[in-house]
Amino acid sequence: MTDGQGLPLGAVISGGQRHESAFFTEVMDEVRVPQPVGRPKTRPEAVAGDKGYDADWIRKWCLERNIESVIPARKETRTGPGRPPVCDEEKYKDRNVVERCVGRLKECRRIATRFEKKASHTEATASRRC
């Protein structure tokens, strides 16, 4: 999870065989944005994801928390009742910020190939990289 400037806000380390959308709620719970006054902000205004995040439970989770989901529909789900979900194309164009952040992290071979045996070591390496 990154902000609009490409700075990481939260991450969850998992096995390489698991799809990242399975950890959507865990990553969202990691977000804490400090505010000048008061408690940290934990909910974004919008969440942009690729077609891999096109799941009804993710859209429902965002809707329950008044978070706009900027997720395009997969090709096979574009037909049927209630489809296609609306995706703001202008906001989706800004999603490249996330991909650039991931690209910067993967420049470090230790992170990209997961040399470390413990997740805490991988997290430490990733936090130094950013």
Task: For residues 93 and 3, give the distance between their C-alpha atoms in angstroms, rounded to a whole number.
Answer: 14
pLDDT digits (tens, 9 = 90+) for 25-75: 988 888 888 889 999 888 888 888 888 888 889 989 999 999 888 888 887
Give the single-character DSSP code of 114: T
Please list, in sequence order, all residues whose beta carbon lies within 8 angstroms of the beta carbon of residue 106, skipping any fewer than 6 positions away.
Answer: 112
Which of the pair, 113 or 56, is modelled with greater confidence? Answer: 56
Closest CA to 61 of 88, 28, 14: 28
